[in-house]
A and B are shown apart, each in its own frame.
Chain A
Amino acid sequence: MVKPSNDAVIGLGAAIQRVKEMESPGRSGVRGQSEEEEAMAAMDVASDVVLLKKVWRNEKAAPEVLHFEAGLIQRAREQIQLLEETVEELIEIRSDDIVVSLYQMDLDRALFLLRSYLRIRLQKIEKHMLHIYRTHLWNRLSEQEQRFAKRCLDIMEGHLERSVLSRLPYGYQSMLKQSISSEEDDMVPQTQLDTFIFCKAKEQYWSFPVG
């Protein structure tokens, strides 16, 4: 737990910079804890599902939308599809029920991770679409996500325009500014990056700069 200072995103630098021996949801996921995962992943030649678990955990813990893991997601999809086909074949040749159901469970677990990962991202996009659209975060989205965000934004804009903004007095009609005298766009909700985080250290640290 560290004093808010710079941005508390997940990430190697951030994690290490912040806390000492904070044992924390290392594996259950913490903001700023990707490192331990990385080590783990490196150790057992990071199977894709291990990687997927890591990005899922990071995405869940990070307040900001992170880079879309296109390659990994693609591979995970292919593996899932492959296993789905295998399961169907197994059913066809009437193989052991138990084998089928075990494979099915494995499949469900992988599917859960994948779906949950995509959904968390959609939630974040919905919440901060305006901010994401107008900053570098936009490049972190996948093509489909960008399409989704754009449509979401258009709908939201139209809705606000019709229901509220067009009825407000002149000077208060912008979706982005509080009033016409605002020099910058001060009505764009942003993610809160300045916060305390939990992180789990991979190695022992005797002393540690905080803040």
Chain B
Amino acid sequence: MAGQSNPHLSIFSAAEVEFLAEDELIEIVPNMRMDALNMICGDFGPFLPQIATKVPLWLAVALKKRGKCSVRPPEWMSVDRLTLVLEAERESPREFQPLPFHYVEMSKLLFDHAPEDIPDIYMVRSLIEDIRDVRFHKVETGLETISGRTHAVKLKNLSAMEVNIVRPFMVRALQAFYTHDSPEMIQQPESAVNRRPQVVDRGPRRDLRPR
């Protein structure tokens, strides 16, 4: 089915995560006059020249594409703030700094559609890329510590895109560890029902599901 992510690979596709991020509110400064919009997702406007107003990101992008507004980048998207975040990310190898849950998607959308509204865009862009890299590296090193005894992993301040990328791998890795580590799990292959349809040839009857 078009537009649907494959549930086996990932619960949410990147496009779907972006879709969710597009509902984040952002401030714009319109350069035209337009009545308020009463939409399904809420009421926005009225839009008056030079009067800032808050709209969802998708609406901001749509107006921007038509040259009807300029976007005010969110506070956290400044060189000063991001430099601090990057430093802190580098200093604490095990912790993640608080950033907006959709910082990856939001910054991508703004870079793509409103580059001229972001001061020091080259700097900001490279800072965000660095932050992403540092954070993702932490996630990857974190994965190495997973073992059969891992029952829970705490990931404070992880963002939407980051979680979405590691989720399928992490869940399956933990499942695999769990299955192989506990002998009784092998006897109760509830988890194997889907994976091993060929068990049938092991004799006339075999319990697929323990009761």
Binding site for B on A (CB under 8 A): 1-4, 18-31, 47-49, 53, 57, 60-61, 79-80, 83, 96, 98-99, 101-103, 105-107, 109-110, 112, 116, 119-120, 123, 178-179, 181-182, 184, 186-187, 189-190, 192, 194-198, 208, 210-211
Contacts and interface: CB of A to CB of B under 8 A. Distances in A.
Given A24-B167, A98-B68, A60 B155 contact: no
Given A28-B17, A184-B211, A195-B175, A179 B204 contact: yes
Contacts of B206: 178, 186
B12 A29 contact: yes
A145 B193 CA distance: 25
Given A26-B101, A53-B23, A195-B191, 8 more contacts: A21-B155, A25-B160, A48-B40, A61-B11, A102-B39, A120-B7, A178-B206, A186-B209
Nearest to A194: B190
Contacts, number: 173
A29 B12 CA distance: 8
Interface of B: 1, 3-4, 7, 11-12, 16-17, 19-20, 22-23, 34-35, 37, 39-42, 58-59, 62-63, 66, 68, 96, 101-102, 150-161, 163-164, 167, 170-171, 174-175, 178, 190-191, 193-194, 200, 204-209, 211
Contacts of B101: 26-28
B204 A181 contact: yes
Nearest to B185: A4
Contacts of B191: 192, 194-195
A211 B122 CA distance: 46
Contacts of A57: 20
